[in-house]
A and B are shown apart, each in its own frame.
Chain A
Amino acid sequence: MGPLIPNGVIPIEWDNIIAILIGIVFGFVLEASGFSSSRKLAGLFYGYDFAVLKVFFTAAVVSLIGVYYMDYLGYLDITQLYVHPLYLWGAIIGGIIMGVGFVAGGFCPGTSLCAVAIGKIDAMVYVAGIMVGIFIFSELYPLFQPIYEGYFYGNVTLEDSLGINPYWFVFIFSMIAIVAFVVSDMVTKKVKKIFY
């Protein structure tokens, strides 16, 4: 049956409307988890608040398990799902830059917009910075193009590249998640409480 749009259950014209709906829900969850506070986000790096890790890891694990159950039951065809293409060095360099910006500014692009929506001034500055960054990147695109489009490894998934049974992968991944949660809880208990 699924995925719904590629299989024509939902016409492709609904793309944008669905995107808006999902965007609203996503923004709501971000705000509800307290992610529009840059202190909370930065807490992950300083070790006093692991909410970011918990929320995103839980979301990943729950959807992973859900998707595999749906695939097993025939409601979804996992092979038709979109797999993000891997541009190795582009991803590594981009990831580092994004990480530095994340720690320094205390926002990731999505949460910064959330914070703008609730009127945070630091977030507005942050978004302006993003715009400047995009502008510079676009202007210097010819320079970056070899890295941006090079080192292409196709639409690979971890299961493909590791060559392990996807079901076992899901299981191991969930175990890692649980271990990460336990460890992060222990760390928060050790670290001095910071009120923010």
Chain B
Amino acid sequence: MKELEKTKRISIAATLFILAVIIGLLTYKRPKNVYAINTKDTLEKITSENYYLTLEELKNPDYVLIDIRNQYEFEKGHLENAINIYASEILSDDNTNVFDELKESKKTAVLYGNNPQEVNASFLILYQLGYDNIKLLAIENSYLQNKLISKKVVIEKSEADVTAFINESVKKANTVETVKVVVAPPKKVITVEKKKKAAAEGGC
């Protein structure tokens, strides 16, 4: 009888373990939004592929414009035939359905906002989720007397040569008085060690 007593404990423990596994399996729901590509591949793609569009290229009927600004700005003025999907809601059910449909019908979603920087995050997140039918419209929107004005911009263009400007200013000053200016920004040497995984140690 004593032996049986012990068995009871074992059976209870075993049953609990199996129950836990079964409940886990049954309640398991795959997350709705799953990344389709990992960060390394994404990086490789965004640095090699062209995903910008300019205003002139918009003529293609396969392009569907998506305005990622908020509703207020959208109603104030937007490009023709644009759909409004606010940036922080791009992953809600309705909106991902829109993107899914576009992908199925082989249309390209063209995202735009007040400037390309604003669209960047939404674009990149959708891109990582596997929507490869997405482009980014390189325009800058502003309002002139409540009318939307879209201007073409070049992304990551260096607008000014800062070194030249500084040298110029030094030169200008030096024509007044020739004093040698040494501008050497202090160099910082930063050495880093590789991060080591650390956690609690354990034994038997």
Contact = CB atoms under 8 A, between A and B. Distances in A.
Interface of A: 6, 15, 56, 62, 66, 69-70, 73-75, 80-84, 108, 110, 155
Contacts of B61: none
Interface in B19-34: 20-21, 24-25, 28, 31
Contact of A108 (B199, B201, B202, B204): B204
A195 to B, nearest CB: 16
Contacts of A70: 24
Contacts, number: 32
Contacts of A66: 17, 20-21
A-B interface, 4 closest residue pairs, ranked by CB to CB distance from nearest: A82-B199, A73-B28, A73-B24, A69-B21
Nearest to A5: B200
A69 B201 contact: no
Interface range on chain B (Cβ under 8 Å from partner): 10 to 19
Contacts of B198: 82
Interface of B: 17, 20-21, 24-25, 28, 31, 197-204
Is chain B's interface secondary structure helix, strand, loop, or mixed overall? loop
Q: Which of A6, A62, A73 has the most CB of B within 10 A?
A: A73
Contacts of A56: 204
A75 B31 CA distance: 12
A159 to B, nearest CB: 16
A21 B201 CA distance: 16
B204 A110 contact: yes
B39 to A, nearest CB: 15
